Amino acid sequence: MSVQSLIYAILAMGVVMLVLRVIPILFKKKIKNKFFNSFLAYIPYAVLTSMIFPEVFSSTSGVVSASIGVVAAVILSYFGQSLLVVSLSSALVVFVVEQIMRLYL
């Protein structure tokens, strides 16, 4: 593919992304349908959960360190720690677990 048509392809993809992301936001009218409103209210939790599992188990170099990282994140967030504390602590836990495994296993 020539550089010129690659530029066209990139611009076309940019336009599609913009349409997908922006058009629904421009509608200011509030949705009155109770079912659809409830549906939209639950979407974030449903999306987040299905994005976590099962992908999280392949996010680090092994299932063991990832699982321990998940447990750490669940415990810390259960006790009300902030996003930053939970995510950095979980990364630290993964790091420590992997170093220990490297040394002893």
Partner 1 sequence: MSNSNVKSDYLRGLKDGVPIGLGYIPLAIACGIATSKAGIPFLLSQLMEILIYSGSGLTAAITLFKGGETVVIMYALAILVANCRYMIFSMSLAQRLDPSMNLIERILVGALNTDEVFGVVIKEKGYIKFKYFLGVATMPFVCFALGNALGSFTTDLLPDFISSALGIIIYAMFIALIVPSAKESKPIFVVVAIALIISIIFECIPAVTQFLSAGWIVILCAIITSAIGALLFPVEEKEEV
Q: Which two tokens stand for residue 73?
A: 């994140």
* Under 8 Å between Cβ of 73 and 94: no
* Interacting positions 57-86 with partner 1 (CB under 8 A): 59-61, 65-66, 69-70, 72-74, 76-78, 80-84, 86
Say how many residues touch partner 1, by CB under 8 A. Answer: 79
CB of 60 to partner 1, least distance (A): 4
CB of 30 to partner 1, least distance (A): 7
Which positions from 9 to 48 touch partner 1 by CB under 8 A, shown as an x/- string?
Answer: xxxxxxxxxx-xxxxxxxxx-xx--xxxxxxxxxxxxxxx
CA 25/CA 95 separation, integer angstroms: 40
Nearest-10 crossing angle of helices 63-78, 83-104: 150
Within a 10 A sphere around the Cβ of 81, how many other Cβ atoms? 14
CB of 47 to partner 1, least distance (A): 4
